[in-house]
Structure 1
Amino acid sequence: MSRVFTPGSSVSKKTEEKVRAAAAELGYRPNVLARSLKSGKSRMIGLVVAYLENYFYPEVVERISSELQKVGYHVLVFIGQNTAVDTDRVVSELMDYQVDGIVLASVSLSSHLAERCLSIGVPVVLFNRGQDHAQLSAVTSNNRAGGRALAEYLCALGHERIAYVAGFEEAATQRDREAGFREGLEAAGQGLFARAVGNFRYAEAQAATREIFARRERPDALFVANDHMAFAAMDVLRFEMGLKVPEDVSVVGFDDVPPAAWPAYNLTTYRQNVAKMVEETVAILIGDPLAAPRQVELEGQLVIRGSTRRYGQGRA
């Protein structure tokens, strides 16, 4: 009977059906915790996310859970914050569950706790955020290239007053996106027209947009460091300031979350390859525990929609 309820075990379909039918009749349920004590494996992965308000992360949670379930693992989801102190607390709690691996989605981990995880053989993968720790694996997009591509596109459209709403300043994703964006502007002979910080939060992105557009001379284009904040910016521009997107101002984001394609936003953005990011993350988690840490950086794709004006449409 134990082979039927052990993930990855070889058993014929006919035998499995008979055993499961008998187990159901007897009310038998396998003791997963007892099995984990015997095998030394809990078959559980801890996933820490900063917040679920951003549509990017529910998709990540769903995809990671689905892919891990296919290979006999289950996911424990914990909510952390952007600070390493809070993440350390959450990760310490996760380790009490004897998890076989940890995924940190856009949160940071202190060097001390990273070393502790490594010392007991628990692989840690940073998802959508890099960190200066050579022993931690990380899976990200090429954020610098994405920021540069968006700058090149806006400049090619003829925009000359291009502003930026930044994310959380300490995040590597934010820094790389802005660095690439500034490089693209400089290559076109331009500089950043205005800048404010939205911290990857909807309300703060609204405030940042109001700050940028309160000036006498307004931007004619706006890059927002992720789609979640771009939706906030567009809502302020259209419904508070009475501006038209893209006639008065073009808006671009980063991620390509599902609402970006909705008619209400129709957002031009830089798409992260979430499916491939999840695939690489799972491969690291269930791969050779003695393998060297991997730093995976994946290319994304510029997705052009109706929130930016067309070539030759004229200057705002």
Structure 2
Amino acid sequence: MRKPRPTPAPPAAAKRPERRVTSYDVALLAGVSQSAVSRCFKPGASVSKATHERVMKAARCLDYIPNAAARSLITRRSNLVGVIISSLAGPEALAELSRQITQRGKRALLFTPTRENELDTILSEVWQYQVDGVIAAASLSERQVAQFARRRVPLVMFNRGAHGPAVNAVVCDQAAAARLLVSRLAEAGHRQFALIDGPQDCADAQQRLLGARMRIAELGLPVPAVVDGHGDYASGGNGIRAIIAQLGRVPDAVICGKDVAAIGCLDTARHELGINIPGKMAVAGCDAVEASAWLSHKLTTLRQPIQKMAQAAADLLSGLIDNRDAAPQQRLFNAQLVEGATARLDTPDSRDLALRLALNKHGLLTI
């Protein structure tokens, strides 16, 4: 039986070159080709386990670090992906996008506008880094989107509305999610709704607001009380006070554009105003942030499939980088309703039981 070829150790007299160590030096020491060394440092590239071990050992001996700048000159790619993400998008979206980009052998270059009206300044910075592509979780105007096409930089919109079918986008159907929430609350007997709006420049919050108002109107329910908010904790507390002053009573259900605002509303209602939640009033949020699941909150909210959406965005952008003339795609995802402890919701099981009890009352069913 043929013995495996041992990994050669560096000669005792061999010293690390005084010049910068190159992949050629590693290949020479490991006894492999220079292209094999390159493949070992390229995520996802095909290389045998034995070759990988030989190359990594040689690289450690020589303290070799791949030269990303040199590689970009050869491939004509920077291996940088710009991620434009506003503070309103949330940490989960940023973490997932960064993870998905890294898994594809690229590095995320982060651009974080404080407000979405700062995007012209942000884009002027993006162009300086020669990024291979951009994922934008911020609302771009048609003029700003046109800059990407002119510069032939692939763009994928993430959870933001696209300007026409020619723009690549991965989005959650925000209006449909809000309609689902209103429907479930209405089925449980809630009639007077109130809405604490999200930030005016947050597209997903505005789409949810529109979806909720449309569904309330379709159901023939009273016009909801609507107050402006900024998606923060204070907005929730200020919002519920303003709603009660506007209506002259406690509403049946309050839907907030962001979970943090919903938690502010919840705390103010319970601890300042003495409102029983969910007995007297239901409170619901959107986004399913980590704090929404804490035992003191257990918020009823809407969860977006951020992990699946981030994976789809990274896949879509990778395809566009390899083929910039590919046909544009728009991928739509649905949100999931999280049934917390802050709202009475009619479930399918409870509706079935109510029907069975009604039939039994009339002697039509035995249970």
Same fold? TM cut 0.5: yes
Q: Report matched runs for 1:263-274 at 5 Å.
A: 263-274=295-306
Report the AA paired with residue 114 of structure 2: Q
- Which residue pairs with 2:114 in the alignment? 81
Aligned CA RMSD, in angstroms, stands at: 2.1
Number of positions where the alignment pairs a residue of Structure 1 with one of Structure 2: 307
Q: Report matched runs for 1:274-293 at 5 Å.
A: 274-287=306-319, 288-293=323-328
Instruction: Name the SS for the 2:221 alignment partner.
Output: coil
CA contact (8 A) 1:131 1:172 kept: no
CA contact (8 A) 2:205 2:258 kept: no
Match of 1:158 among 189, 213, 230: 189
Q: What is the TM-score normalised by the length of structure 2?
A: 0.77
What's the CA shift string for 1:164-219, capped at 9, x where partnerless? 01112344323321222122212322033311111323333432233213343121
- Which residue pairs with 1:97 in the alignment? 129
- Which residue pairs with 1:121 in the alignment? 152
Displacement of 1:224:
0.7
- Which residue pairs with 1:6 in the alignment? 42
Q: Work out the CA distance in 2 between the residues paired with 1:187 and 1:228.
A: 28
Report the AA paired with residue 80 of structure 2: M
Match of 2:171 among 136, 140, 146: 140
Q: Report matched runs for 1:206-285 at 5 Å.
A: 206-215=237-246, 216-285=248-317
CA contact (8 A) 2:185 2:345 kept: no
Q: Work out the CA distance in 2 between the residues paired with 1:47 and 1:240.
A: 41
Displacement of 1:152:
1.0
Moved more, 94-103 or 239-248: 239-248
CA contact (8 A) 1:200 1:226 kept: yes
Q: Work out the CA distance in 2 between the residues paired with 1:22 and 1:271.
A: 48
Does 2:78 match 1:42? yes
Q: Work out the CA distance in 2 between the residues paired with 1:274 and 1:100.
A: 23
Q: Please state which structure has a larger fraction of its residues in strand.
A: 1
- Which residue pairs with 1:179 in the alignment? 210
Instruction: Name the SS for the 1:139 alignment partner.
Output: strand
Q: Unaligned regions of 5+ residues in structure 1, if any?
A: none
Instruction: Name the SS for the 2:83 alignment partner.
Output: strand
What's the CA shift string for 1:62-103, capped at 9, x where partnerless? 21122222221121122113334x112112212212211111
Q: Work out the CA distance in 2 between the residues paired with 1:159 and 1:15.
A: 66
Q: Work out the CA distance in 2 between the residues paired with 1:310 and 1:117.
A: 45
Report the AA paired with residue 71 of structure 2: R
Q: Work out the CA distance in 1 between the residues paired with 2:181 and 2:48.
A: 53
| Structure 1 residues 111 and 189, CA gap change in structure 2 (3 angstroms) | closer
| Structure 1 residues 259 and 193, CA gap change in structure 2 (3 angstroms) | same
Report the AA paired with residue 253 of structure 1: G
Instruction: Name the SS for the 2:40 alignment partner.
Output: coil
Instruction: Name the SS for the 1:302 alignment partner.
Output: strand
Displacement of 1:146:
0.9
CA contact (8 A) 1:81 1:87 kept: no
Displacement of 1:124:
1.4
Displacement of 1:156:
1.2
Displacement of 1:222:
0.2
| Structure 1 residues 127 and 228, CA gap change in structure 2 (3 angstroms) | farther
Match of 2:229 among 198, 201, 212: 198
CA contact (8 A) 1:104 1:127 kept: yes
Report the AA paired with residue 211 of structure 2: G
Q: Work out the CA distance in 2 between the residues paired with 1:272 and 1:146.
A: 9
- Which residue pairs with 2:344 in the alignment? 309
Q: What is the TM-score normalised by the length of structure 1?
A: 0.89
Moved more, 215-224 or 172-181: 172-181
Q: Work out the CA distance in 2 between the residues paired with 1:226 and 1:294.
A: 28
Moved over 4 A (4+): none
CA contact (8 A) 2:162 2:168 kept: no
Match of 1:61 among 55, 69, 94: 94
| Structure 1 residues 168 and 132, CA gap change in structure 2 (3 angstroms) | farther
Report the AA paired with residue 41 of structure 1: R
Instruction: Name the SS for the 1:42 alignment partner.
Output: coil
